Amino acid sequence: MSTVIEVTDVTKTYRKSEALRGVTLALQPDRIYGLLGRNGAGKTTLMSILTAQGFASSGEVRVFGEHPYENERVLNRICFIRESQKYPDSFTAEHAFKSAALFFANWSQELADRLVTDFQLPLRRNIKKLSRGQLSAVGVIIGLASRAELTFFDEPYLGLDAVARQLFYDRLVEDYSRHPRTVVLSSHLIDEVANLLEHVIVIDQGRIIMDDDAETIRGSAFTVVGSAEKVRTFLGGREVVHSDNFASLASVTALGTLNESETREAAELGLELAPVSLQQLIVRKTMSASPASSGAADRPLSEVAR
Amino acid sequence: MLIDNGRPIFLQIAERIESDIIDGTLAEESQVPSTNEFAAFYRINPATAAKGVNRLVDDRILYKQRGIGMFVSTGARAVLMQRRREEFFDQYVQPLAREARKLGIEPDELADMIRQGEHAIQGGTQ
Amino acid sequence: MNRVVKVMRMQLANRWIFIGIPLIILAASFLLTLIIWSFIPNDGGVRISGGSQAVMWYFFALGIQSLTLTFPFSQGLSITRRTFFLGTLSLFSLIALITAVTYWLLGLVEQGTGGWGVGGSFFALDWIADGPWYQPIAFYFAVMMALFLIGFWSATIYKRWQATGLLIVGISVALALVGTLYVIGSRNAWPEVGAFLGSQTQLAVAGWFAVLALAPCRRFVPHPASGRALVGSAVKWNRPRHAESVPLPTLLHRIP
């Protein structure tokens, strides 16, 4: 199978800041990718460049083997509805869907109709008068019903309540099962989307800090809690990504897996072991990977940490 | 939460199917839901669900019939029971003994307690 | 179906915008003019109304909107900039042509009915309606296209360089105008200019409008192949490899 997206050493510099720094990626077909990271980490910038809506300052971009810029052969197969997607003021949701149906070869009106019912979206109301959540629903519906070979969802849930978000995740899994395609889902609500992802890409301050199968990452770290001294003995030379101390107790997150005898040893030392979720690990990593971000310490965790 | 976020999901899916086979929910030679059905039910990536199911196919707990679906192999239950019994000591007995020692419960006392627990369960099920 | 045609259909998804509203504006401004004419006593002279330009200004606004709102939407649907530009321009040309022909036809009616029976002049304005049939059509067409494209380009410049860019361009245009006036005045050339303007035919004026409208496409923004943009080389642009063949104004290439 051929690679869908190939990015080599892409940087994006705005006047004062670097939005992307040396990003190199390869995305395989028919997988659901999670593009995770904090707000402002560079997720939208990267997706804009991949869809030729934005431009890289340097580096190579190949989508379906070609440069996407002004390239109809490539763009025909892509759908990218932005988080803050603009629609013509005069449009209703119905106009937007009719337009989308013109341009996406695999458009499923049946799916669109069903999603409209699911999200209880008023079709004939002027788009300017829709709530933030309803506006997001319009984008989600276009993204799903387009069935584009390469679909980007950029934080698609803004203003959607928990029920509507779950609906989106369910429909995504369901339709993807029947019509496999490459999906890139950008999000900072990691726990919510973690189980949907086959592959995880974590971006932090414009750099890719994680690029691996979700299942590999899930088993790749553990947390030990117990007396600080015993924890230290137990961990030995393992790579620690995070540690918390409280009186004589320590809670340490370390990389690696534990075999049976190590698990037994921990139990005998009276240490507690806990698995580390994708979200916890990403939070730990994005915090440890950004020592330069001491300025961001006043907002240390944002939503990600919770 | 149906799925525990910290462990590989494919392992959890495999374990769930195993448990269903052991307690008889999935009888031998009965059809197992498709990976897409697993994916939709547990709200997980279909590839992950497939990985869990394939692990059991590789173990010959399940077998595939082309174009029809997947089924529980004959003898699967016995194999799984044997495997779980082997794990029982590590997973349950050792932690139990350790906790008992911490609380000063003597081995004889512990054995008595286990017998009582067994009675309670039998009483509860009758 | 051709994607350029699809862009036209997308723009027409809400038919009111390009068809319904212009018709209403035209009908309303015409009715209003008739009512006003009926109020003022008829002294036998010709009564001229500028009401027919109302629709044209509406197209100026449409030019702005089609870039600020419809363009970002078209990007969400993965439409190339070239296709979007060609589709929008085609639709616009079509509508401008229909409007121009309508104006010409209504102008004929106006002349045939003695100015709607009240000596009014709404469509067949003096000078514009003089001469062969194609002259007023070309004139109206060119004016509408100019207004639409000026709206479109202003919005483009605004999107690319924000208010500063628009200000710089605006000031530059104003300076150029003032400079021209100064040169004419300092050389006492007004009589010649007057003679020149007087000698212009409708067709020639239409031509001037066309130059004005298309200037951003060709002249004052170079072709993308040159790799340089309007306000200069301050911003470097990495020209995509296959863009050489793209016959599209640089400005549109550069909108992020």
- Å between A171 CA and nearest CA of chain B: 9
Contacts of A192 in chain B (CB under 8 A): none
Same domain, A143 and A245: no
Residue C245: its pLDDT value, please? 40
Do A103 and C78 make contact, defined as CB atoms within 8 angstroms? Answer: yes
Residue C35 has pLDDT above 60, yes or no: yes
* pLDDT, tens only, A192-242: 899 999 999 999 999 999 999 999 888 889 999 999 999 999 998 888 988
Which positions ≥6 away from C179 have C-beta within 8 Å? none
Per the CB < 8 A criterion, the answer to whether C81 and C253 are in contact is yes
Comparing C121 with A168, the larger pLDDT belongs to A168
> Rounded to a whole number, what is the distance in Å from the CA of B122 to chain A's nearest CA?
31
Q: What is the pLDDT of residue C222?
A: 34
In chain A, what residues touch B46 (CB-CB under 8 Å)?
173, 176-177
Question: How far is A50 from B66, CA to CA, in rounded Å?
Answer: 39
Q: Which of A182, A216, A250 is at the close of a domain? A: A216
Site from B4, B5, B36 to mutate, A interface, most A CB atoms within 10 angstroms: B5
* Total domains present in chain C: 1
Put simply, the answer to whether A214 touches B98 (Cβ < 8 Å) is no
By Cβ distance, the residue of A75, A82, A91 closest to C78 is: A75
Q: Which pair of structure tokens corresponds to residue B106?
A: 């003597």
Window from B16-25, C31-40, C225-234 with minimum mean pLDDT: C225-234
Q: Is the pLDDT of residue A166 over 90?
A: yes
Same domain, A162 and A275: no
Cα A110 from Cα A185, distance rounded (Å) = 23
Given B46, B48, B94, which is nearest A215 (Cβ)?
Answer: B48
**Per-residue pLDDT, C247:** 46
- A283 and A151 in a common domain: no
Contact (Cβ atoms closer than 8 angstroms) between residue A203 and residue A36: yes
Judge contact between A237 and A260, C-beta under 8 A: no
**Which tokens is A260 given?**
């049976």
Are residue A174 and residue A263 in the same domain, yes or no? no
Provide the percentage of residues in chain B whose pLDDT is more than 90.
62
Q: Are residues A227 and A258 in the same domain?
A: yes
pLDDT digits (tens, 9 = 90+) for A85-142: 989 988 999 999 999 999 999 999 999 999 999 999 999 999 999 999 999 999 999 9
The fraction of chain A above a pLDDT of 90, given in percent, is 60
pLDDT in tens, C209-255: 666 666 555 433 333 333 333 333 222 333 444 443 444 555 666 56
Residue C238 is predicted with a pLDDT of 37
**pLDDT at residue C211 in the model:** 66
pLDDT in tens, B21-64: 999 999 999 999 999 999 999 999 999 999 999 999 999 999 99
Q: How is chain B classified by DSSP, letter by letter?
A: --S-TTS-HHHHHHHHHHHHHHTTSS-TTPEEPPHHHHHHHHT--HHHHHHHHHHHHHTTSEEEETTTEEEEPTTHHHHHHHHHHHHHIIIIIHHHHHHHHHTT--HHHHHHHHHHHHHHHHHHH-
Residues A190 and A236 occupy one common structural domain: no
Domains of chain B, first to last: 9-74 (1.10.10.10), 86-125 (no CATH)
What are the tens digits of pLDDT across the range C138-193? Answer: 888 888 888 888 888 888 777 777 667 677 777 887 788 778 877 777 777 777 77
For residue B123, the distance in angstroms to the closest alpha carbon of chain A comes to 33
**Residue A59 contacts residue A9 (beta carbons within 8 Å):** yes
Q: Which residues contact A101 (CB under 8 A, 6 or more apart)?
A: A107, A109, A112
pLDDT for C188 equals: 75
Reported confidence tier of residue C118, pLDDT bands at 50, 70, 90: confident
Q: Is there a single domain that holds both residue A199 and residue A244?
A: no
**Is the pLDDT confidence value at A176 over 60?**
yes
Establish whether chain C is in contact with chain A, requiring a minimum of 3 CB pairs below 8 angstroms: yes
Q: How far apart are CA C49 and CA C189, in angstroms?
A: 32
Place A305 in a pLDDT band, splitting at 50, 70 and 90: very low
| Beta strands A150-154 and A221-227, pairing class | unpaired
| Cβ pair B42:A198 closer than 8 A | no
Chain A residues in contact with B36 by the CB 8 A cut-off are 177-178
Tens digits of residue pLDDT in A48-74: 999 988 888 999 999 999 999 888 899
User: Do residues A239 and A200 share a domain?
Assistant: no
Residues A80 and A95 in one domain: yes
Contacts of A260 in chain B (CB under 8 A): 90
> Which residue bears the tokens 């990976």?
B35
Q: Which residue of C has its CA nearest to A77?
A: C78
The verdict on A180 and A224 lying in the same domain is no
- The beta-carbon neighbor of A87 closest among C73, C82, C83 is C73
C140 min Cα distance to partner chain A (Å) = 26
Task: Give the separation between CA C70 and CA C76, rounded to whole angstroms.
Answer: 10
CA distance C176 to C220: 13
- Chain A contact probe: residue of C70, C73, C74, C79 with most A CBs at under 10 A: C73
Residue for token digits 């679909």? A151
CATH assignment at residue A225: 3.30.70
- Provide the CATH number for the domain around residue A58: 3.40.50.300
Take residue A268 and report the two structure tokens written for it. Answer: 């005998």
Structure tokens at A54: 């934005």
What pLDDT does residue C212 have? 65
Q: Are A190 and A234 in a shared domain? A: no
* Residues shown for chain B: 126
The per-residue pLDDT for C31 is 87
pLDDT of residue C205: 67
Please identify, among A185, A216, A247, the residue that sits at the C-terminal boundary of a domain.
A216
CB-based contacts of C31, cutoff 8 Å, min separation 6: none
- Regarding whether A81 and A183 lie in a shared domain, the answer is yes
Structural domains in chain A (count): 2
Domain that holds residue C9: 3-254
CB contact under 8 Å between B36 and A177, yes or no, is yes
| First-last CA distance in chain B | 31
CA–CA distance, B110 with B121 (Å, rounded to integer): 17
> Whole domain around residue A278: which residue ranges?
220-305
- Sheet strands (E) in chain A: 5-13, 18-27, 32-36, 58-63, 78-81, 150-154, 182-187, 199-204, 207-213, 221-227, 240-246, 249-255, 272-275
- Tell which wins on pLDDT, A287 or A134: A134
